[in-house]
Structure 1
Amino acid sequence: MILPVAGVLSPALITTCQQLASDDTLFVDGRSTAGWYAKQHKHNLQARAAEPVQKALEQVMAAITGHELIQAAARPKRIIRMLLSRYDEGMHYGHHVDDALIDGHRTDLSFTLFLNEPGAYDGGELVIDEPSAERPFKLAAGSMLLYPSNTLHRVMPVTRGQRLVLAGWIRSLIREPAQRELLFDLERSIAQLRSAAGQGEALALLLKTRSNLLRMWAED
C-alpha cells in the first residue's frame, strides 16, 4: 500500500526545517549513510546530527506519532531513523531498495516528508516501481508519502531549484503489508460506523475483529 498523507507538519515546523536546509554548514555528502549498493547511486546532501537538526527531528517525530491516519496505516512500533535531505540542481538518487535493517531494526515502511512546494523545483519526483507501472510523486509541503520498504524507487534529477525532504523508516507491529492494509481498511470502517447512529452491535463486532487480528499478527 502506497499512501499519501496531507498536512502532517505544521507551517511553523515546515519553516523551521526549511531554515535548517538553507544552512550549508549543516550538510554533508548523503552517501555517508547509504549501503554499499545505494552509495553508488546516491547524489544528495544530508544534515549531520547537529543540535538544531535533532530538535527539529524530535518535533517531526511527535507530529508523526500523533497523526491518526499514519498510526492506522503503519502501526508503528518504532521510527528507526530520519534524515533531513537536500537535492540541489543536478542531484538525484538512482534505483535502489532501502536496507532491510537500519540501526539493528527491520524496516517495514519508508516515508518521505516533503518540505517545499512542488513549484519550488523542477524534476525531483519520487518514482516508485509497481508491477504494472512506475508511479511518480511530488507532494505539497508538509505532506508524507508512506510506502513499503521493499519497493524499488528512485529520485529523478532536480533540474531547477532545491528539493527538500525528510526521509525515514518505520518498524511496524505488523510485518506483512497485506495484513497492515487489511487492518487499515478495518480501521476506516470502524471510523465510519462511529459517526453513524444505531450501529452499536456492528461496531462492537468490528472492534472485536480488529483486536483479535492484532493478537494474531502483532509482534510486540
Structure 2
Amino acid sequence: MLLSIPELLTPEQTRQCRAALEQAAWVDGRDTAGHVAVQVKNNRQLPLDHPVAQHWGQAIVQALSTNPTFMSAALPQRILPPRFNRYEGGEAYGFHIDNAIFQAPNTTTRVRSDISTTVFFSDPDEYEGGELIIRDTYGEHSIKLPSGHAVVYPGTSLHRVTPVTRGVRYGSFFWTQSLVRDDGRRALLLEQDVAIQRLIQAGADPEVVAQLTGVYHNLLRMWSEL
C-alpha cells in the first residue's frame, strides 16, 4: 500500500522545522547504515540525540497520532523516533530494503519495520533529482511531494533516492510497527474503514453500518498482534 498524506504538519510547523534543519550540524549518513546499505548510501543525517531531531521528531509523531488517514492505514503499535536527512551535491541512496528490526533508542524495545514513512521538508522546485523511487509488483513509483507532505509505504519495499544535482533536499524518515503485520490485510482494513465512513456520510441504514463495522473489528481482532 502506497499512500500520500498531504499537510501532515501545518505550514508554520513546516517553516519552523525547515529553518531549524538549515542551521543544524549534520554528520555522515553512512554512520547509521548497515553493512549492505553503507555501500549505496551517500547523504547526511542528524544524530539521533540532536535537539532538533528530538524536538521535531516528537512533533511529527504527535501529528501522526491525530491524522485519521495515517491511523487508519498504519494501525500503529509502535513508532520509532523520526530521523532527518539531507541530500545535495550529487548525494543519493541506492536501492535497498530497510532493516526488518530496529531497537528503539535508549531502550531494550525492538520495533519491526512494517511501514516506512518519509516526510518532505523541501518543495519540489527547490531541488533537482532527489525523487524517492519505490519498486513493487506494479513497477517503480517516483515520489516528490511538497514540503510538509508525507508518503507511507511498506517497509518490505525496495527503494532509493535519486542523486540531488541542484539545491538541497531535506526530509524525515522513520518506521512503524503495525498491529497488523501483513500489508495486504492492512490495505483491506483501510478500504473497509473508508467505505464505512462514506456510508455514514451518505446517511446509510445504521444497522448496515453497525454490521460492517462489526466485520471490520472482528477482522482486526483476528489479524492484530499485541
Q: TM-score, normalised by structure 1?
A: 0.96
Aligned pairs, how many?
219
Alpha-carbon offset, residue 41 of structure 1: 0.8
Is the Cα contact below 8 Å between 1:16 and 1:56 reproduced in 2? no
% same residue? 37
Partner of 1:43 in structure 2? 42
SS of 1:22's equivalent? helix
Distance in 2 (CA, whole Å) between partners of 1:95 and 1:53 is 25
Matching residue within 136, 154, 157 for 2:160: 154
Is the Cα contact below 8 Å between 2:21 and 2:52 reproduced in 1? no
Q: Give CA deviations for 1:26-59 in whole Å, capped at 9, x if unaligned.
A: x111111111111111111111222233112111
Alpha-carbon offset, residue 20 of structure 1: 2.0
Partner of 1:213 in structure 2? 219
Structure 2 residues without counterparts, runs of 5 or longer: 104-109
Q: Map of 1:179-194 to 2, 5 A cutoff?
A: 179-194=185-200
Partner of 2:19 in structure 1? 19
Distance in 1 (CA, whole Å) between partners of 2:203 and 2:102 is 46
Q: Residue 160 and residue 199 in structure 1: after superposition, are their counterparts in 2 closer, same or farther (change >3 A)?
A: same
Alpha-carbon offset, residue 140 of structure 1: 1.0
Q: Residue 93 and residue 205 in structure 1: after superposition, are their counterparts in 2 closer, same or farther (change >3 A)?
A: same
- Whether 2:79 is the aligned partner of 1:79: answer yes
Q: TM-score, normalised by structure 2?
A: 0.94
- Whether 2:207 is the aligned partner of 1:201: answer yes
Is the Cα contact below 8 Å between 2:2 and 2:153 reproduced in 1? yes
Distance in 1 (CA, whole Å) between partners of 2:45 and 2:223 is 36
Q: What is the RMSD computed on CA atoms of the aligned residues?
A: 1.1
- The worse-fitting range, judged by mean Cα deviation, of 190-199 and 102-111 is 190-199
SS of 2:156's equivalent? coil
Is the Cα contact below 8 Å between 1:20 and 1:53 reproduced in 2? no
Is the Cα contact below 8 Å between 1:9 and 1:60 reproduced in 2? yes
